[in-house]
Chain A
């Protein structure tokens, strides 16, 4: 993994208490984000990718959710040791987040510029005039045409693409160290989608923001990311450099994902979640052994008894699968 990462997460767990006892929705998640890198989090819905983002921000639904971690180092600061006030100071200033549906993520009864500029009021204590001027600059930066006429608009008066650009402007307005984009283009049409992605890449190159990109779309991962983290049922199951992952997918789940992308022809129309037989398991009723074993096409007896750990396969490449363990290192059948 990258030296001197901007973000380094170790052992992140999230538990939810519900009517039928506690459920661990994130289990021992660790990953790094290098400076100026775009890191992908990919997986089916329910895999825990969005929960990871919310947990980093300390925004897990309260009071049911509880976050725990060995450490979450953001540029040297351990977020896991910060109290609510400390986390608030980080949110919006050092880590910003943009969400999937820009229509519902913006407050319908407040003008766009007030919302986009609000982090400046919170973290920098700027006055209205200064904020307005800065928002207009940001609008120009993110390519909103005629920014001065859009400042006073309400969210519903903007198109989906413009709203998402405004969300990006909001995220970047305090020049955060890290931007988390949770499915930023899912709600957009294909043309707007590629414009927004191009904008994000361009901003990374110009401003140098590190980005965590959450998506279920491997096409977007291939286009955007430097590194990829694949998640399944609340766990990291494979981490690799993007080329490495696409060249040598090591977890059967990742292979399944890749196999179902239409390739080469260029007609990458159906960028849907590929169909791997079966469903994401209910986190309250996980199968014994490897969480993926009921759906795995390379399942071995050991997979049904023992949960594999992340195995190091190469430089920056790990996978949670028994296939890559040396034969004699596999747990004995009678083991506990």
Chain B
């Protein structure tokens, strides 16, 4: 028998050391590194956003206030927004203030943008969480069933359904649901936000399209895994097919699905812009749309920045989750 040490590749140096502690440390290091990497992306995005919003041809204040405002008010707002400073100075102070949680004042409402967004955010969050729940509750079982009963009628039905889901614009499926369940069947309220029943239709409308994506991904991922050798090993142990799927295939197959869920944040938050305006839910998405129509630049800037940061956070969480779920990636990250 050769020396034991030659067999060990990446085990802790001393056998007594708890592998768990090391794993946690590796994970933290990876998370930290991953956060550091997304900082430049974040700064780049604020720059792009700032430049795009601040090169609007014409005077934004005059444009927004039209001819109603007196010259004094225009002057006050201009000074407040420091429109006469050079672009670079304005960007740096915008960035500095944003870091301290100050996104400026809404021109239209003359109130701090941060406060407006934070007040609206719980509504958006609730909508997004419910929509995500809808998409997982439909998408994952549909995907699993389709994979297990591959090429059956069930499979075709779910895959056809999911294709419909991804090919339908959200605003249209929202209107359709509104028409059928609120206007015709009168089962649920048409719009507004005064209780849980107001969330049902928006959440289904929003969750529907990502349910299709998740079902497809779950299916293809599970089919992929079911072809692998260790599935044959599990069968060779005498495990019944349900056990093979739940104990051996599912965890591996769902890893990519789980990470898609975190990336899904982008789709849900974009979709919220549409859903919130259709169902009149006072969330961040509706703020974005109304900021555009009232040409309230600081409010738009704040809302878009807020949403984008959330999306980047979602991607971050996806990456970290991936490394937690897959021990192979975890070790790779630890060594990188």
Contacts and interface: CB of A to CB of B under 8 A. Distances in A.
Given A59-B235, A149-B15, A153-B11, A105 B327 contact: no
Interface in B1-41: 1-2, 4, 6-12, 15, 19
Given A107-B248, A158-B7, A96 B1 contact: no
Given A104-B229, A143-B1, A162-B7, A156 B327 contact: yes
B9 A158 contact: yes
A118 interface: yes
Interface in B212-261: 228-230, 232-240, 243, 247-248, 251-252, 255
A107 B251 CA distance: 10
Given A104-B230, A148-B15, A96 B236 contact: yes
Contacts of B328: 108-109, 154, 156
B331 interface: yes
B231 to A, nearest CB: 8
B230 A107 contact: yes
A108 B252 contact: yes
B251 A109 contact: yes
A152 B11 CA distance: 10
Contacts of A110: 248, 251
A124 to B, nearest CB: 11
Given A57-B236, A122-B237, A107 B9 contact: no
Contact of B236 (A59, A146, A195): A59
Interface residues of A, number: 44
A158 B10 CA distance: 8
B286 to A, nearest CB: 42
Nearest to A165: B7
B319 to A, nearest CB: 17
A146 B248 CA distance: 27
A153 B15 CA distance: 12
A57 to B, nearest CB: 6
Interface in A87-122: 88-93, 96-97, 99, 101, 104-110, 115, 118-119, 122
A107 B236 contact: no
Given A108-B327, A162-B7, A92 B236 contact: yes
Contact of A105 (B4, B232, B251): B232
B59 interface: no
A93 B238 contact: yes
A88 B240 contact: yes
Contacts of A40: none
Interface of B: 1-2, 4, 6-12, 15, 19, 228-230, 232-240, 243, 247-248, 251-252, 255, 325-328, 331
Interface of A: 57, 59, 85, 88-93, 96-97, 99, 101, 104-110, 115, 118-119, 122-123, 143-146, 148-150, 152-154, 156-159, 161-162, 170, 191, 195
Given A108-B326, A154-B328, A159-B9, 15 more contacts: A59-B235, A91-B235, A91-B238, A92-B239, A96-B237, A107-B234, A108-B230, A109-B327, A115-B233, A122-B239, A144-B7, A145-B7, A150-B11, A154-B331, A170-B233
Closest 9 A/B residue pairs (Cβ): A145-B4, A92-B238, A92-B237, A91-B238, A104-B229, A149-B15, A154-B327, A107-B230, A97-B236
